């Protein structure tokens, strides 16, 4: 289940940075910040020491449940900044006690029964890419069992007539695409975690993926769900649409493992795109690029890609000079040429101050920027692998806000984050891009970076993260557009969601999980 995954870096063990790469990164960083930096040594997995498991695995579960040190360590964290720091330093004060990887719903039920009978926390685990403390054990439980779904990782059924597939929850992104491809189909859900995240994880966290406009979140593609709860199996009917009561699938989407463990889903798939049009348009300012993006999305052209990079992002991620913002546009279709809608979008961009595009002299530059941005997007987590242990505070957060509030929102969030960075690190950088766009508002994605003190990263990060989150919530945004709530976003989520909704959700959880073993502390107070 985790044979080749790195214990500390994003990706596989074979993708871990070498000692040399870590030293080079340290030199680059030292030069950039004009400081001396002690290069970090990559952690050794052989030195990890964990508290002895508090749970004794029943014989009936032994065939698929492990208490091995490496497996327990791997399943004790996700991939948040805090997780990365703790993993890099081999710090596991509160590890899971066992890792169960059930191979079917019966085995999964048996695991939940075990947890219910002992009062152990059951922590659903897909690919372990949570950046919000969604797979980490809570404090003060008598035991914690990670429920790894990777042994339920098959594409079970395809329906080319309805363009749909029945897929087990533990199936990773690449396996889904591999199985669909021979049929000319694709799910086209490509979060940054694509390679190391699963369908079940996407649904449980309302992941957003490839599509920048129109249907963006995974639940827009979910037709039905099976979920094993401590009270039995929840199975919704596979339907293209319905108006019968509240949508049961929307009770599951975003439930983050507090109601049960998703085991499979019918999802809508697409014919693979063969007609594509993409372009990059430069703007004198982020504000102008945002205005253009608003006009495009409100025209309902529904581009697959419509990302806006502020001046800093465009420089870092797309090789531009730091004075201009970039709008990345992409249209796609299996059958229909996309030059028409692209031309309309480019016209709108030009009317809104866009300076170069595919029709102008700057075309090559715009196109290059698109390609660079794509590569940068996929490589980012691996770059970050090399920056661990150097005291660098670097993280991202994402939100969504209505257009009428956007400008002031951005000012406040940016200022609050930058002020915190200055307090904590003496300065730093805050950049922003739009990852997803709605007719009524953008989903801004912020990246912040500052050089902190080696060994104090977690406290320093926490101060910046809190300042940013506070600004997001007090300025009218959501604490997360697609990274989920987990444990880390709880203080701000508690202010965002309706109190009565929390009460209703708590009651629904109690009905499905009477003992309260499912991911306690995630989303709501147990």
Residues from 403 through 462 that contact a second copy (CB under 8 A):
403-404, 436, 438-443
CA pseudo-torsion sign 358, 361, 364, 369: negative
**With binding defined as CB under 8 A, does residue 112 bind a second copy?**
no
C-alpha distance from residue 430 to each of 17, 134, 427 (Å): 26, 25, 10
Residues 292-321 close enough to bind a second copy by CB under 8 A: 298-302
Least Å distance, CB 96 to a second copy, is 23
Stretch that binds a second copy, among 2-10, 93-101, 332-340, 454-462 (CB under 8 A): 332-340
Least Å distance, CB 237 to a second copy, is 6
Least Å distance, CB 49 to a second copy, is 36
C-alpha distance from residue 204 to each of 38, 134, 148, 213, 482 (Å): 40, 10, 14, 21, 11
**With binding defined as CB under 8 A, does residue 480 bind a second copy?**
yes
Choosing from 57, 318, 425, 484, the residue that interacts with a second copy (CB under 8 A) is 484
DSSP string for 331-368: EEESSS--HHHHHHHHHHHHHTT--B-TTSTTHHHHHH
Least Å distance, CB 239 to a second copy, is 5
Q: Which is nearer to a second copy, 277 or 523 (CB)?
A: 523
Q: Residue with structure tokens 């929307």?
A: 250
- Which of helix, strand or coil describes residue 523? coil
**With binding defined as CB under 8 A, does residue 189 bind a second copy?**
no
**With binding defined as CB under 8 A, does residue 223 bind a second copy?**
yes
Instruction: Please list the residues that pair with 69 across neighbouring strands.
Output: none
Q: Who's near 272: CB < 8 A, 6+ residues apart?
A: 181, 184, 185, 186, 334
**With binding defined as CB under 8 A, does residue 96 bind a second copy?**
no
Give the integer Cα–Cα distance in Å for 410 and 416.
10
Q: Apex CA 385: angle with CA 65 and CA 13, to 5°?
A: 45
Stretch that binds a second copy, among 72-80, 102-110, 138-146, 334-342 (CB under 8 A): 334-342
Whether the Cβ atoms of residue 202 and residue 426 lie closer than 8 Å to each other: no
Residues 144-163 close enough to bind a second copy by CB under 8 A: 159, 161-163
Helix (H) or strand (E) holding 278: strand 275-283
Stretch that binds a second copy, among 28-36, 336-344, 372-380, 459-467 (CB under 8 A): 336-344
How would you classify the pairing of strands 429-438 and 305-309? antiparallel
**With binding defined as CB under 8 A, does residue 205 bind a second copy?**
yes
**With binding defined as CB under 8 A, does residue 497 bind a second copy?**
yes
Least Å distance, CB 185 to a second copy, is 11
**With binding defined as CB under 8 A, does residue 512 bind a second copy?**
yes
Q: Which is nearer to a second copy, 152 or 218 (CB)?
A: 218
CA pseudo-torsion sign 311, 313, 318, 320: positive
- Which of helix, strand or coil describes residue 512? helix
Residues 117-146 close enough to bind a second copy by CB under 8 A: none
Size of the site for a second copy (CB under 8 A): 94
Give the integer Cα–Cα distance in Å for 402 and 405.
6
Residues 367-396 close enough to bind a second copy by CB under 8 A: none
**With binding defined as CB under 8 A, does residue 190 bind a second copy?**
no
Whether the Cβ atoms of residue 435 and residue 307 lie closer than 8 Å to each other: yes
Binding mask 224-263 for a second copy (x = CB under 8 A): -----x-xxxxxxxxxxxxxxxxxx-xxxxxxx--x----
Binding mask 341-360 for a second copy (x = CB under 8 A): ---x----------------
Least Å distance, CB 389 to a second copy, is 31
Q: Which is nearer to a second copy, 232 or 359 (CB)?
A: 232
How would you class 208 by CB atoms within 10 Å of its CB: exposed for 0-12, middle for 13-18, buried for 19 or more?
Answer: buried
Stretch that binds a second copy, among 6-14, 73-81, 203-211, 463-471 (CB under 8 A): 203-211
């Amino acid at each position: 289940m985790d044979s080749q995954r790195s214990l500390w870096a994003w990706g596989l063990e074979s993708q871990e940075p070498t000692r040399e790469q870590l030293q080079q990164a340290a030199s680059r960083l030292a030069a950039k910040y004009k400081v001396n930096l002690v290069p970090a040594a990559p952690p050794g997995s052989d030195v990890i020491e964990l508290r002895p498991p508090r749970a004794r695995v029943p014989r009936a579960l032994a065939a698929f449940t492990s208490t091995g040190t490496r497996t327990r360590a791997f399943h004790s964290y996700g991939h948040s900044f805090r997780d990365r720091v703790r993993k890099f330093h081999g710090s596991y004060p509160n590890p899971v006690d066992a890792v169960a990887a059930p191979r079917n719903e019966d085995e999964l039920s048996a695991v939940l029964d075990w947890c219910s009978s002992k009062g152990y926390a059951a922590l659903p685990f897909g690919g372990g890419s949570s950046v919000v403390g969604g797979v980490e054990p809570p404090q003060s439980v008598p035991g914690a069992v990670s429920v790894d779904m990777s042994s339920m990782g098959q594409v079970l059924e395809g329906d080319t007539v309805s363009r749909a597939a029945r897929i087990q929850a533990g199936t990773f992104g690449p396996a889904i695409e591999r199985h669909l491809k021979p049929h000319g189909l694709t799910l086209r859900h490509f979060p940054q975690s694509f390679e190391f995240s699963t369908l079940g994880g996407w649904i449980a966290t309302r992941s957003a993926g490839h599509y920048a406009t129109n249907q963006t979140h995974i639940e827009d593609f979910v037709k039905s769900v099976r979920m094993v709860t401590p009270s039995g199996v929840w199975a919704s009917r596979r339907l293209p649409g319905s108006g019968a009561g509240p949508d049961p699938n929307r009770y599951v989407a975003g439930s983050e493992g507090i109601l049960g463990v998703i085991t499979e889903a019918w999802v809508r798939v697409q014919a693979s795109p063969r007609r594509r049009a993409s372009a990059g348009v430069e703007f004198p300012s982020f504000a102008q690029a945002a205005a253009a993006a608003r006009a495009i999305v409100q025209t309902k052209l529904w581009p697959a890609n419509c990302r806006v990079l502020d001046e800093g992002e465009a420089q870092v991620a797309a090789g531009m000079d730091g004075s201009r913002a970039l709008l990345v546009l992409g249209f796609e279709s299996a059958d229909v040429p996309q030059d028409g809608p692209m031309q309309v979008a480019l016209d709108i961009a030009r009317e809104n101050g866009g300076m170069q595009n595919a029709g102008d002299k700057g075309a090559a530059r715009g196109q290059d920027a698109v390609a660079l941005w794509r590569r940068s997007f996929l490589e980012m987590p691996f770059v970050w692998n090399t920056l661990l242990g150097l005291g660098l505070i670097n993280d991202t957060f994402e939100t969504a806000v209505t257009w009428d509030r956007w400008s002031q929102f951005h000012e406040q969030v940016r200022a609050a984050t930058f002020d915190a960075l200055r307090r904590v690190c003496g300065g730093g950088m805050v950049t922003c891009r739009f990852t997803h766009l709605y007719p009524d508002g953008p989903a801004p994605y912020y990246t912040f970076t500052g050089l902190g003190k080696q060994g104090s990263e977690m406290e320093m990060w926490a101060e910046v993260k809190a300042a940013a989150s506070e600004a997001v919530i007090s300025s009218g945004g959501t604490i997360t557009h697609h990274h989920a709530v987990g444990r880390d976003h709880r203080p701000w989520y508690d202010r965002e969601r309706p109190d009565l909704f929390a009460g209703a959700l708590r009651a629904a959880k109690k009905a499905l999980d009477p003992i309260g073993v499912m991911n306690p502390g995630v989303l709501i107070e147990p």
